[in-house]
Structures are given as structure tokens and as C-alpha cells.
């Protein structure tokens, strides 16, 4: 009976404590709407918070003493290896051809006939148009009659002179008269020939600029545009600093953005003359055009291989830093253990040419060197580091 009484008392005490806890919850205190109780509850919570923070600090201090790698920076690395490096000079150029010409007349007059039309293929020397000669043909006929008479007179006087008949002066006068008439005829024929417009080379009539019946001026009025697309090339200006690198025979990749076309070709001519106005020299790049899709004045992007290193060491430009003396450096990992923990070491390097996001390293590192990539700008010389992800290299 005594034990039963004790057990009942214990149950009542526990129930009383549980009720007190329920009465002391934040929700119950807020529902009481009693300012004094609310303030007291807040003070209790603040005290509890301070106790918890103090215990957390004790735990952190213990962790820092036991965990020696807690403050070691986490980095990624890659291994330097030799690879082929081809530096490409990227410039822009325009397509042109030496067989593109706007023909102008050599004679003043009326354009009486045009014998070709746009798109027509013509051969070298073919007659394209005719200009009125202004009566030169009639003059030529008259001169020819006079020359025929002069020739007969000269031949007769020559036979007499050979037979010692007549005077020398008569013979010389007849000869001079005939020769001057022949020369006048030749000059007039040359003038008349200028009234005929001929194709200077084989090609296609691109445009008939002046219509038949128009008055044209020698060397001034554009008549016809003729083009030949067989001998196309790209002409561009290259900075003088590349004069020893961009030479005849260098490989070139040509891209035509408008056509969505890329071709492989080479430099066919590099000028030895430096333009003093812009310090550049001319380069010609020949391009095949069997399907005639490439047209004059088309814009092209050129990538000229001006430098090749078969055993280059390349690193991302983003990991390179520079000190106060202007020296470039990277960080490498030394003494790495089985846990991938090691020491970061600063290495001064000498760089070469760049291509895209990478740069060539000429001195300072060797093939097989483990170089810090991610985290390269946050570590310090001699600092302990931990490698968390090696590249496939």
C-alpha cells in the first residue's frame, strides 16, 4: 500500500511538471497577454542562446585543434604537357581579281552599236561595241587612193632612176611622198581602230553601263564592266611586325561568313614594300573558285599560320599573375602526399604567343609539372594546399 501511494505521488508530480512546461511555452506565454510573463520568457531565451553560443565556440576550438587541414585552400590542377601549337594571325580581307575592269572608250563620239548583253561570255579581242568615227573611214578611202597613186609614181621613178634616167631629186621626192602617205594611212587606221571596243580578256559581261546612242568621251565614260572569276584572290594589309612570319607558301584558313563556307589555301604573294602611311604590307591569298560562288569585294576572314611550335607548353591566360617587377608567374604544387595535400610554389615564367584563351610558356616550367588552375589567384607562395580535382591530363 505504501508503494502504491508513492507511485501516485510521482505521477502527480510528473503531470504537474508537464503542465508547467506547457504553460511556459512561447505560444502559451503569448496567449496570456501578460507583459511581465512575456518579458521574463524573452530573458530566459536570451540566456539560453548565450549558453548555446558559448558551447558552440568550445566545440569549434576543439575542432580547430584536432582538424589540422581545416584552413587549407582547396584547389584544382592540371599537368603541363608538350603539344603542337599553331599560332594564327586573324585578319580581314576582301576578295578581288585582276580580271575585273570597267571599259572606257578611246575615242570621242556617239556609241552607235553595243553587241553584247549582261551575263554574256566573251573571248579576248571580241568586239563589244562600236563608236561613230565621224567620217574617218571616208578620209581613209581618200588617203588610200592618193597612196596608190603615190606608190605608182614612186615605182616608175625608181625604175627610171635605176636606168640612170631622170634626176635623183625626183626619185627622192616620189619616195618621200609615198612613204608619208603610207604613214598617214597607218595613223588614220589606228584612230579608226579606237572606235571599236574590244574585250581585253576572256570573261563575262557583268554590266552594260552606257546604252547605245549615247555620246561618250575618251577615257571618261564607263561603257561595260567585264569580269573573269577564274583568277580570284584575297588582298589584305598585314602589320609590319609580321613581315618575317607571313611569307609566301604559309597555310591560310579562309572563312566566308556570308556563304557559310571555309576553304584551306596558302599565301601566294607577300609584298616587300612597307606602306609608310599605316606600316603594313600587302598579302595576296589565292582562292579556288570552280563553282563561281565567290564574288569580287566579298568579305573574308583569314587565319594565317605565322608560327608553329611542335613541343609547346600551354597554360590558360587566366592563371597567370604579374609581380611588381613586371615578371609573370604561376603556382605549381610540390611535395604532394597520398592525401593530395602539397605546397604551393610560385614559379616565374616567360611567355610567348597567345591563341584564344591559352598562352605559350617558353621558360619556367617543364612537361609534367602540376600547375594550379582553380584557386591560382588566392593561394600564396609556400602555403599548404589540397588538390580536390585533377584534370584528365
pLDDT 10s digits, 33-66 = 788 888 888 888 888 888 888 888 787 677 666 6
Query: How confident is the model at residue 169, as a pLDDT?
Result: 84
391 class by beta-carbon count within 10 Å (0-12 exposed, 13-18 middle, 19+ buried): exposed
Q: Which runs of E-coded beta strand occur in 98-213?
A: 100-103, 109-114, 121-122, 127-131, 196-198, 203-208
Full-model pTM: 0.56
Whether the Cβ atoms of residue 285 and residue 268 lie closer than 8 Å to each other = yes
3-class secondary structure, 358: strand
pLDDT, block means (10 residues), the chain with 393 residues:
40 44 69 81 83 81 63 86 90 89 91 92 92 86 87 84 80 86 88 90 91 90 91 91 91 92 92 93 90 88 91 92 92 88 92 90 91 89 83 47
Whether the Cβ atoms of residue 132 and residue 214 lie closer than 8 Å to each other = no
Choose among 372, 348, 361: nearest CA to 315: 361
3-class secondary structure, 26: helix
Query: How confident is the model at residue 67, as a pLDDT?
Result: 61
Query: How confident is the model at residue 21, as a pLDDT?
Result: 47
Task: Name 75's Cβ contacts closer than 8 Å, sequence gap at least 6.
Answer: 333, 344, 372, 373, 374, 375, 376, 379, 385, 386, 387, 388
pLDDT digits (tens, 9 = 90+) for 182-222: 898 898 888 888 989 999 999 899 999 999 989 999 889 99
Assign residue 181 a region: left if phi > 0, alpha if psi is -120 to 50, beta otherwise? alpha
pLDDT digits (tens, 9 = 90+) for 159-184: 887 788 778 888 888 888 888 888 98
Query: How confident is the model at residue 198, as a pLDDT?
Result: 93
Cα 126 to chain center, whole Å? 41
Alpha-carbon distances of 378 from 216, 278, 339, rounded to whole Å: 77, 43, 21
H or E element at residue 389: strand 384-390
In the chain, what's the furthest Cα-to-Cα distance?
189
Query: How confident is the model at residue 252, as a pLDDT?
Result: 93
Measure the CA–CA gap between 250 and 272, rounded to whole angstroms.
16
Assign residue 57 a region: left if phi > 0, alpha if psi is -120 to 50, beta otherwise? alpha
H or E element at residue 344: strand 341-355
Measure the CA–CA gap between 1 and 345, rounded to whole angstroms.
83
Residues, the chain, total? 393
The C-alpha cell of 383 is what? 602555403
Query: How confident is the model at residue 170, as a pLDDT?
Result: 83
Query: How confident is the model at residue 66, as a pLDDT?
Result: 66
Amino acid at each position: 500500500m505504501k508503494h502504491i501511494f508513492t507511485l501516485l505521488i510521482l505521477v502527480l508530480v510528473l503531470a504537474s511538471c508537464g503542465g508547467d512546461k506547457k504553460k511556459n511555452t512561447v505560444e502559451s506565454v503569448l496567449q496570456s497577454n501578460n507583459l511581465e510573463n512575456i518579458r521574463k520568457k524573452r530573458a530566459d531565451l536570451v540566456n539560453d542562446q548565450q549558453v548555446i553560443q558559448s558551447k558552440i565556440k568550445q566545440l569549434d576550438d576543439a575542432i580547430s585543434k584536432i582538424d589540422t587541414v581545416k584552413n587549407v585552400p582547396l584547389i584544382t590542377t592540371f599537368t603541363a604537357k608538350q603539344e603542337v601549337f599553331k599560332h594564327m594571325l586573324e585578319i580581314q580581307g576582301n576578295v578581288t581579281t585582276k580580271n575585273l575592269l570597267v571599259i572606257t572608250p578611246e575615242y570621242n563620239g556617239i556609241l552607235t552599236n553595243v553587241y553584247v548583253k549582261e551575263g554574256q561570255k566573251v573571248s579576248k579581242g571580241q568586239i563589244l561595241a562600236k563608236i561613230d568615227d565621224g567620217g574617218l573611214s571616208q578620209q581613209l578611202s581618200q588617203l588610200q587612193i592618193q597612196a596608190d597613186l603615190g606608190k605608182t609614181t614612186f615605182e616608175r621613178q625608181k625604175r627610171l632612176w635605176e636606168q640612170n634616167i631622170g634626176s635623183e631629186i625626183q626619185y627622192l621626192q616620189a619616195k618621200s611622198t609615198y612613204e608619208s602617205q603610207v604613214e598617214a594611212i597607218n595613223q588614220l587606221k589606228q584612230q579608226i581602230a579606237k572606235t571599236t571596243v574590244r574585250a581585253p580578256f576572256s570573261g563575262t559581261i557583268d554590266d552594260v553601263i552606257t546604252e547605245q546612242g549615247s555620246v561618250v568621251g575618251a577615257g571618261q565614260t564607263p561603257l561595260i564592266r567585264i569580269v573573269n572569276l577564274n583568277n580570284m584572290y584575297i588582298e589584305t594589309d598585314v602589320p609590319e611586325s609580321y613581315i618575317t612570319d607571313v611569307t609566301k607558301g604559309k597555310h591560310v584558313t579562309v572563312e566566308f561568313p556570308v556563304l557559310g563556307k571555309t576553304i584551306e589555301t596558302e599565301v601566294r604573294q607577300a609584298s616587300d614594300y612597307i606602306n609608310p602611311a599605316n606600316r603594313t604590307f600587302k598579302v595576296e591569298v589565292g582562292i579556288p573558285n570552280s563553282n563561281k560562288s565567290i564574288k569580287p569585294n566579298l568579305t573574308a576572314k583569314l587565319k594565317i599560320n605565322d608560327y608553329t611550335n611542335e613541343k609547346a607548353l600551354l597554360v590558360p591566360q587566366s592563371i597567370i599573375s604579374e609581380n611588381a617587377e613586371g615578371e609573370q608567374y604561376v603556382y605549381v604544387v610540390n611535395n604532394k602526399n597520398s592525401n593530395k595535400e602539397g605546397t604551393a610554389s610560385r614559379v616565374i615564367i616567360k611567355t610567348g604567343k597567345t591563341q584564344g584563351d591559352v598562352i605559350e610558356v617558353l621558360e619556367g616550367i617543364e612537361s609534367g609539372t602540376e600547375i594550379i588552375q582553380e584557386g591560382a589567384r588566392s593561394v600564396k607562395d609556400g602555403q599548404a594546399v589540397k588538390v580536390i580535382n585533377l584534370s584528365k591530363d
